Each structure stands twice: as C-alpha cells, then as structure tokens.
C-alpha cells in the first residue's frame, strides 16, 4: 500500500472539507454535488467513519418531498459558479438544483456499513438513511420509467454525470437554443476552455433548465416534456447496483419490505439491461427514448454497465472490449473510443479517463470474475496519480491532467483503491 499517496489524498479531502460536506474542488465547483459526496464518503470511511456518514446525511437533508435528491446543494452563496440558484429557481429554503445525478448512494452506504469498525454507529445511521435512499429509488421508477420498462431515462445530460458525452450529440441537437437568456460561464475561468463543454452545448443545457423551471419543477411532468430522454446503461447500472445493495442491507437490518421492493427493482432492471446490448460494438449502448432507437456510440457508459450484476458472458465481453481499447490508449478506461472520429482526449467526457468510473467498472468486473482486467484498471488509476497528481480527469494517452486540480473524488478513489488492495471488501 502506498501510504504516501494515501496521505496526499487525505490532504486533498481536508482541503475541500467544509465541515459537514465536501466541495469537489475549490473554485471550479464550490458547492455540494450528489454523486461526488457519495463516492467521497468511501474515502472518508477508511479513516473517519463518522465524517463519512455525515457527508451522506447532509446530502439527504436536502431530499425533496417527492423523494428526489438534487444534483447540487447551494449551501453558501458563491457567484463563481454558473448556473447558480437564481437560474434554477427551485424555491427551496436552502437552494438546490432541480435535476438529479447517478444514485450511487445505496452502493456506498452498504459498503461503508459492511466495513464499519463502529458497528453500533453504522447500524444507527444506516437504518435512518435506508428509507430515504429507498424513496429516491422509487422516485426514479415512478417518474423516469412511466411505461414500466425496468429502465429509467435521464432528461438532462448533467444528470448522467457525463455532461458532454458523444452519446448525447444526436439527441441534443433536438434541444433548441431560442429564448436562452444571456449568461456568463464561470467554469472556463477556472479550467482550460479546451477541456470543457462548448458554448453551443451550454446553451442547450440552459434551455432545458429554463424549460423545466417553466413547468414548476413538477417531476410528474418533466420526463414527457423533455426533448432529451435518454436511457443510459451506466446510469441504470448504478441505480440497479444501489437497489441490489440496498436490498442486502435492508435484509440485514430486518427491513423486509424495503428489501423485497429493492430486490424486485434490481431484478427487473437486470433483465431489461439486455435490450441495450450492441453486438457490433461488443458493449452496451444508450437508447434514445424520444427517437425510439439505440445510439451507436462506443462510450464508457456502456462499459460502466458492468457495475451491476450483468450476465457473466456480458461482463466477459465488456472486459474484452476494454482490452481492445487498451491497444490505443496507455491508461484505462478512456471515456470514448480513441479510434472513433469524435474522440477528444482532453475534453471532459469525450475521451479522458475518470478515476470514479474506473473504480466502478473495476468493482463490477471483480464481482463478475474478471479480476485480471479489474486489476489492470486499478493499476492504471494509481499510475495516473503518480504521473499527474489528483486531477479531475486525464488524457488516456499522454496522462495530461485536465479540469480542476486537487479533486475530492479522485483523492477518495485513491484511498479506496489502495486500501482495498490490502484488504478486499
């Protein structure tokens, strides 16, 4: 275990710690982000279990009454980020955004609980979180799967966490830009504009926000009202895995009704995932629900599907697909195929490597018996840190650090990877 790297990673978390929540990095992202917090809690849990539970509890303190957990909580005012609370207009006492993010919390809570040294505290705090996480999962299937397919749709690219993925290009072209109020981006003043989404994409992001705000953020209406309705295999895999893990945790805690509900969500989702398989690419792909067709895009979203309990043959194929990508990249796993014409190794989700996705893919492959590829991904993740520090993301060929620096969830993943090398979960 590399104690020097763990110590550096802990220093990053300390720098971004605001007491009861962390910011992803100072300047670029000055608020609390949803899946950042859940994944960051995994890092805290290795040396401060109480702080890990607090991170997640703070997130759920801002859960909406219908069960949704928003993707940003604006704890303190900071004009260094756009779009801020005034653009979202959600009218919450503590302002939040109006959309959500990948629901990785069920997975994180189960893992923190299973490893807990303070079992009494873990049981008390997990028991309190259990119905709230379950309410969020039910919200997804109620509001984002109105036809009961077993798979949910995202209605804004930001919900996926993969904001400017090539997966969205065709569907995103349907989103208009007329009527978008003038705005001044802040992200490009903190990071190289060549690493960020384009201004044209940003106009469409904001059009969707304005559109949903005009509907009063009524979640029963937003799915059908959005011109962007995408079934993302990676997003669904995270939800399915969290449902499965919540089922196991609920069973341990004697919450049999939550366990049964969660197990049913996971089983239906796993069965439905096969509709997203693409034989030609040898991986899962997105489904454009608005257009009624698969998206032929070789992105990391289809590889992240391995995070949930896909059939072993599919997991083996995903591992083989990653091995093919390794022929054109030095570091796994690029967020888009480097041989594809749309690939851009420096621009956000159009090519770079992200440690959080590496971690989830690796974890799923280990569960599926693909330990060799999982180890290769873990090794590449640590090599990137050694070469380029704790960046937001990295070029998969040159290892150039991109986006924000001293990044919380990157540091948390280093702590998690190095600690679990020593004592696997």
Structure token digits, residue 208: 């969707």
Which of 49, 145, 159, 163 is an active site residue? 163
Long-range CB contacts (within 8 A, 24+) of 123-129: 123/253, 125/53, 125/57, 126/249, 126/253, 127/253, 127/255, 128/57, 129/56, 129/57, 129/60, 129/105
Active site residue 274: no
Task: Give dist(CA 89, CA 44) in Å, integer.
Answer: 32
Active site residue 392: yes
Which of 232, 337, 367, 392 is an active site residue? 392
Active site residues: 163, 392
């Amino acid at each position: 275990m590399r104690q020097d790297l763990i110590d550096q990673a802990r220093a990053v978390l300390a720098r971004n710690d605001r007491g009861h929540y962390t910011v992803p990095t100072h300047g670029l992202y000055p608020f609390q982000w949803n899946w950042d917090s859940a994944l960051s809690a995994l890092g805290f849990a290795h040396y401060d279990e109480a702080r890990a539970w607090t991170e997640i509890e703070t997130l759920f303190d801002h859960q909406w009454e219908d069960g949704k957990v928003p993707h940003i909580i604006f704890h303190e005012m900071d004009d260094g980020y756009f779009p801020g609370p005034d653009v979202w207009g959600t009218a919450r006492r503590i302002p939040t955004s109006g959309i959500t993010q990948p629901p990785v919390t069920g997975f994180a809570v189960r893992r923190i609980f299973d490893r807990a040294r303070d079992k009494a505290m873990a049981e008390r705090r997990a028991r309190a979180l259990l119905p709230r996480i379950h309410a969020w999962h039910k919200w997804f299937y109620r509001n984002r799967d109105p036809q009961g397919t077993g798979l949910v749709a995202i209605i804004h690219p930001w919900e996926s966490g993969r904001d400017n993925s090539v997966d969205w290009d065709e569907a995103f072209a349907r989103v208009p830009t007329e009527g978008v109020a003038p705005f001044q981006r802040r992200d490009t003043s903190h990071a190289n504009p060549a690493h960020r989404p384009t201004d044209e994409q940003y106009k469409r992001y904001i059009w969707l926000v304005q559109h949903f705000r005009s509907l009063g953020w009524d979640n029963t209406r937003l799915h059908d009202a959005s011109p962007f309705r995408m079934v993302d295999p990676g997003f669904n895999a995270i939800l399915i895995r969290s449902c499965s893990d919540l089922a196991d945790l609920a069973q341990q805690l004697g919450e049999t009704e939550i366990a049964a509900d969660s197990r049913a969500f996971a089983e239906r989702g796993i069965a439905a995932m096969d509709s997203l398989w693409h034989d030609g690419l040898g991986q899962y792909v997105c489904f454009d629900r608005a257009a009624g067709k698969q998206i032929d895009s070789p992105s990391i979203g289809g590889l992240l599907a391995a995070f949930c309990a896909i059939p072993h043959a599919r997991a083996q194929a995903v591992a083989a697909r990653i091995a093919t990508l390794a022929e054109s990249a030095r570091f796994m796993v690029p967020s888009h195929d480097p041989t594809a014409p749309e690939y851009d190794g420096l621009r956000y989700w159009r090519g770079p490597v992200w440690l959080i996705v590496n971690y989830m893919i690796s974890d799923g492959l280990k569960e599926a018996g693909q330990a060799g590829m999982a180890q290769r991904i873990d090794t590449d993740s640590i090599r990137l840190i050694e070469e380029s520090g704790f960046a937001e993301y990295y070029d998969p060929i040159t290892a150039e650090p991109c986006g924000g620096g001293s990044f919380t969830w990157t540091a948390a993943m280093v702590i998690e990877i190095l600690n679990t090398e020593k004592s696997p979960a």
